[in-house]
Structure formats: C-alpha cells, structure tokens
C-alpha cells in the first residue's frame, strides 16, 4: 500500500510560477512510473506529465516548454515545476504512481488557480 500527498498549489497570476510536490509513503521500496493529472470543473481528468523510474518524460502538448516533471527515487517523490501559467491551467492537480505489482495510487489533489 502506498499513500501520496500533494502540496504546493495556490493562487497565482497569469505568467507566474508554482512548484507542486508529491511525497509517497508506505510499505514500498520503489515505484514505477509517476505522474501528474489535472481536472477542471466540467472536464475530464487529463494526464499533464509522466516520468518513468529511469527518468523518461512525456507531457501533454499544452504544457510543453512550460512545465517540467522530475523525481527523487530515494525519497519516492515527484515534482512539477509550472512556469508561464495560464488561466486554462486552473484545475485540481493529482499525483499518480504505479508500483511493480501494477497497482495504481492517487493523491487527494491540490488546487491550482491562475487569475486572468
């Protein structure tokens, strides 16, 4: 079992930056892929960024060049640096992790609000 806790959300003006953190805890020594998803009111949850256990990354087209995902395997933590934020980035951001038994884990989410 793994627990994920996000932090770093808040209110920021358009063009500003935020850094999201996700800390994993529980009886596990290593996680497989980790990522960040987001969900805005009335919209489907979408993948924002993903990073494998060896550091291979991918991003949704709308955030390429603005967001950077990274991880610390020793801490089982994942981060999302968000720059040049836009109002359309406003959403609840969820941390996600996959372990080697194929079990999927989710955090409770952190709210990011970008003012116009």
Angle at 62 between CA 84 and CA 19, to 5 degrees: 45
Report the percent of the chain where pLDDT is more than 70: 98
The span from the CA of 5 to the CA of 36, in Å, is 12
- In three-state secondary structure terms, 9 is coil
The predicted pLDDT at position 29 comes to 67
Q: What confidence score (pLDDT) does residue 1 get?
A: 77
Residue 27 clears pLDDT 80, i.e. is over it: no
Please tell me which residue, 103 or 86, carries the higher pLDDT value: 86
Predicted local confidence at residue 88, as pLDDT: 96
User: CA 6, CA 29: separation in Å to the nearest integer?
Assistant: 19
The mean per-residue pLDDT over the stretch 68-81 comes to: 94
Q: In angstroms, rounded to a whole number, what is the distance separating the alpha carbons of residues 62 and 91?
A: 14
d(CA 77, CA 34): 9
- pLDDT value at residue 100: 85
User: Stretch 24-44: mean pLDDT, rounded?
Assistant: 89
Angle CA 113–36–11, to nearest 5: 15
Cβ atoms of 76 and 31 closer than 8 Å: yes
């Amino acid at each position: 079992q793994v627990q994920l806790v996000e932090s770093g959300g808040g209110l920021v003006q358009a063009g500003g930056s935020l850094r999201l953190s996700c800390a994993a805890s529980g009886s596990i020594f290593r996680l497989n892929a980790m990522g960040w998803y987001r969900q805005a009111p009335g919209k489907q949850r979408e993948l924002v960024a993903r990073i494998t256990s060896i550091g291979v990354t991918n991003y949704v087209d709308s955030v390429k060049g603005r967001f950077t995902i990274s991880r610390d395997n020793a801490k089982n933590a994942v981060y999302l640096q968000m720059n040049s934020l836009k109002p359309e980035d406003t959403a609840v951001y969820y941390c996600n992790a996959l372990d080697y038994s194929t079990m999927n884990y989710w955090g409770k989410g952190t709210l990011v609000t970008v003012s116009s």
